[in-house]
């Protein structure tokens, strides 16, 4: 391990070292409190055991490995963006002590089950995108679900708490969902679900953008060469003045 004793942070792991990693509670007598970004990135790991003293796991910390089952100890409060993205996970055990999850933290794995910690209020973008989840329950602590959060799974059943007030684009696209029940005041993006999914909330119409400033337009050839607006769903206008 490369270790910063002043902050209690593992900053790197030698790629030639053992592939079944047991992270110690202390290194040279100093407690291991943090795992830095990229610390175990692409090291060919087969497993990892994290001690119940680590507080945070940084961005991409275990990205691109083959870890199988990972248990996150009760001491961990924060997991950074893409920390376990493409990490070969088939099972992840989280505790209720986690307060923050970064975008894409568990994307691109083989997770069949996922439990959302009850301290999480906003589910970040692409959190568990591209896994094999079959069912999911959104607890009553969650208010917002980010873009592509559970996209490209095998979900056929999702139970939403009434506390969910906003669901962003493609959050549940490319699944096996047929019908969902949502709170009547939930703000649902038109592309949250696949087009065949039945919901109790009327879908918002796609927004037609007709302001010339949103397009780069060549009047000589009558060609739109670029869209520079911010709307994610756009209908091309019939004419641009």
Blockwise average pLDDT, block size 10, the chain, 241 residues: 97 94 97 98 97 98 98 98 98 96 98 96 98 97 97 97 95 96 93 92 61 79 82 73 73
Answer for the pair 128, 150: CB distance below 8 angstroms, yes or no.
yes
> Distance between terminal CA atoms of the chain?
62
Rounded distance between C-alpha atoms, residue 46 and residue 37, angstroms: 19
- The whole-number pLDDT of residue 218 equals 84
**DSSP-assigned letters across all residues of 173-216:** -SS---EE---TT-EE-TTSS-TT-EESSPPPPPPBP--GGGEE
- The whole-number pLDDT of residue 119 equals 93
């Amino acid at each position: 391990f490369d270790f910063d004793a002043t902050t209690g942070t593992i900053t790197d792991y030698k790629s030639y070292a053992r592939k079944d990693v047991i992270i110690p509670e202390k290194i040279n007598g100093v407690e291991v409190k943090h795992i830095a970004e990229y610390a175990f990135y692409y090291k060919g790991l087969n497993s990892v055991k994290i001690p119940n003293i680590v507080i945070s796991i940084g961005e991409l910390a275990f990205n691109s490995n083959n870890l199988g089952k990972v248990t996150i100890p009760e001491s961990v409060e924060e997991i950074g963006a893409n920390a376990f993205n493409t990490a070969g996970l088939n099972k992840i055990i989280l505790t209720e002590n986690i307060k923050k999850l970064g975008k894409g933290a568990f994307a691109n794995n083989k997770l069949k089950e996922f439990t959302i910690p009850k301290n999480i209020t906003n589910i970040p973008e692409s959190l568990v995108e591209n896994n094999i989840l079959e069912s999911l329950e959104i607890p009553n602590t969650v208010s917002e679900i980010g873009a592509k959060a559970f996209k490209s799974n095998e979900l056929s059943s999702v139970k939403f708490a009434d506390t969910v007030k906003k669901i962003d684009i493609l959050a549940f696209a490319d699944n096996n969902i047929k019908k969902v029940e949502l709170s009547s005041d939930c703000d649902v993006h038109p592309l949250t679900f696949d087009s065949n999914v039945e919901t109790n909330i009327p879908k918002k119409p796609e927004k037609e953008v007709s302001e010339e400033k949103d397009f780069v337009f060549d009047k000589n050839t009558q060609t739109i060469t670029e869209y520079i607006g911010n709307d994610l769903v756009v209908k091309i206008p019939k004419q641009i003045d």
